[in-house]
Each structure stands twice: as structure tokens, then as C-alpha cells.
Amino acid sequence: MNTDAVMPKAACATCSLAQNARLIKLGIETGGWDYVVALAGNPNTGKSTVFNAVTGLRQHTGNWPGKTVTRAEGGFIYDGKRYKLVDLPGTYSLLSTSVDEEIARDFILFGQPHVTVVVVDATRLERNLNLVLQILEITDRVVVCLNLMDEAERHGIKVDDRALARDLGVPVVPTVARRGEGIPELLAAIAQVASGEYATRPHRIRHLDPEVGQAVERLTREIEKTFKGLPNARWVAMRLLEGDERIIEAVRKHELGELAPAAEMASTMQPALETA
């Protein structure tokens, strides 16, 4: 029997190419977008691999941290909507101590992406969840991409993605980005959060000390008065109370709203196309 003739057809229905039929990769074409999506995560979790899988670009990927030093941008169409995808440098927190972290943080904070995808390493979940929780403090439009599931499996690590999604209050999508596994599901989750079809209920850490809570409330109101239309005024208030030098400086110089354009510039100076 000639099974070769039968096999390709059977494989077609289940392969990721067929499932990706709703996806059109646009490469560096990012004009006229409906939604902006940011890709964040700890260093070396596969952000750029996810980026390439979705945009069709070949942005340099490699197994070392600090590879994506500025933002890279790409585009794709999913279900008829145009998306601009911004690949951010890896960071352990939103507390900026380096230029990389500042770019990532400023974009999530002030670039106001419609969806922030946090790519996490399934083998180092505990470490990665710190950033997830910090991002959930400043935006509720989040999708967690649980990447490197193949490595986790090899290490005998099982991750209950449903329980995680329930606890975090946002979609959690297991992926093996370098093989394209889970990418269709990831795109569907991004589309649902972008359109508001999936209403997230992000896990937020409650402030135990009422005095701190009151101080945050008072400061938030002042910031909202001074910087009209600023998103995340509450987050800015908390950083001020913590003594974050960069934020203090930005408030003092009245340049809070200008942080986003600064991040914008960083990317136009460094075009996304890198020959792999």
C-alpha cells in the first residue's frame, strides 16, 4: 500500500500552516494598524522566536541575553485586522536600571499597546511570574505565552496552564515557538483580548497598609490633575513613593507624557530588519 500518497493530506489538516490560514505575515510592514501588541518577558524566554513566527521576519534570535537591545517592529494580519508587533528587550522587572529595561518599561507604560504579551519560560516559571505580576499592575490587556513547553516536558515539569490562567485572570497559552506550536492559539488569544471579547480580570496585589494606600490615592489624584490623560497614574504614584529616580525626574521636568515619543525614536533609529 502506498501510504505516502495518503499521509500528506492527513497531515495537512492538523499542521500549523493550515491552522495559520487566518494569519498573513507582513514582515516589516506595520502601517495602518488596528492594534499594537507588545512582546515582553524575561531575557532569553523566546520573545524574538515568537516575533519571527508571527511576522515572518528573521530578527536575530540567539541563546544569550541582551540580544534585543532596542525594540524591533513587525506586522501581521489576523482575521482581517492589522497588528503592529513590538519586540521589547528582555527584562526581569519594570524597575529600570538599564537602557534596555527603560525601553521595555516606557513602552508598556506610555506607549499604550492594546495587548501586552508576556513570554515566560515554562522551566523557570517562579522567576518569570515576578514580571507578569508587575505588568498586570499597569495594564489589564495581557496574554501570557507559556513558552519552551518542550524543554519543560524534558525536565519533567508539568504546568497547569488552566489554573495559572484562572489565578492570573488573563489567558495563558502554552507554546513551543521554535516549532510554531501554540502560535495559532496565541494569535486567537491576542485577538480576543485586543477586541475586548475576552474580559481579563488581572490579579492585583492588595495593599495591606492603609496609610500607604491613602498616600497612593492622594498622589494619584495630584498626578492625574497635573498630567491629564496619563494612563497608569496610580503606578506612577507608587514609583514616586518608592523613590524611583527616573520617574521623579520625569515628573519634575514635566516630561512624563514625552517618555513614549522617546521610546518611539529608539525604534526608528534601529530598523527591525536584521539579516540572520
Partner 1 sequence: MAVTVQTLDTLAPGQKAVVKDLAVEGLERRRLMDLGILPGTVIEPELKSPLGDPTAYLVRGTLIALRREQARHIHVVPLEEEQDEH
Question: Which positions touch partner 1 (CB under 8 A)?
Answer: 92-93, 95, 97, 123-124, 126-127, 130, 242-245
Nearest to 273 by CA among 35, 56, 118: 56
268 backbone dihedrals φ, ψ, rounded to 5°: -70, -25
CB of 110 to partner 1, least distance (A): 20
Which lies closer to partner 1 via its Cβ, residue 52 or residue 123? 123
Query: Dihedral sign, CA of 15, 83, 68, 104?
Result: negative
Task: Report the DSSP pairing between strands 81-87 and 142-147.
Answer: unpaired
Which lies closer to partner 1 via its Cβ, residue 225 or residue 252? 252
Which lies closer to partner 1 via its Cβ, residue 26 or residue 118? 118
Which lies closer to partner 1 via its Cβ, residue 92 or residue 227? 92
Q: Which three cell numbers stand for residue 192?
A: 480576543
Tell me how far apart the alpha carbons of residues 274 and 276 are, in angstroms, rounded to a whole number. Answer: 6
Tell me how far apart the alpha carbons of residues 93 and 25 are, in angstroms, rounded to a whole number. Answer: 30
CB of 124 to partner 1, least distance (A): 5
CB of 68 to partner 1, least distance (A): 17
CB of 63 to partner 1, least distance (A): 13
CB of 251 to partner 1, least distance (A): 16
Contact 104, 47 (CB under 8 A): no
CB of 92 to partner 1, least distance (A): 5
Which lies closer to partner 1 via its Cβ, residue 148 or residue 189? 148
Q: Which three cell numbers stand for residue 194?
A: 485586543
Task: Report the DSSP pairing between strands 81-87 and 35-41.
Answer: parallel
**Could you give the C-alpha distances from 212 to 130, 138, 207, 238, in angstroms and in order?**
21, 18, 7, 9
CB of 227 to partner 1, least distance (A): 23
Which lies closer to partner 1 via its Cβ, residue 95 or residue 219? 95
Q: Which three cell numbers stand for residue 36?
A: 499594537
Q: How many CB atoms lie within 10 A of CB 248?
A: 13
Which lies closer to partner 1 via its Cβ, residue 93 or residue 192? 93
Tell me how far apart the alpha carbons of residues 115 and 113 are, in angstroms, rounded to a whole number. Answer: 5
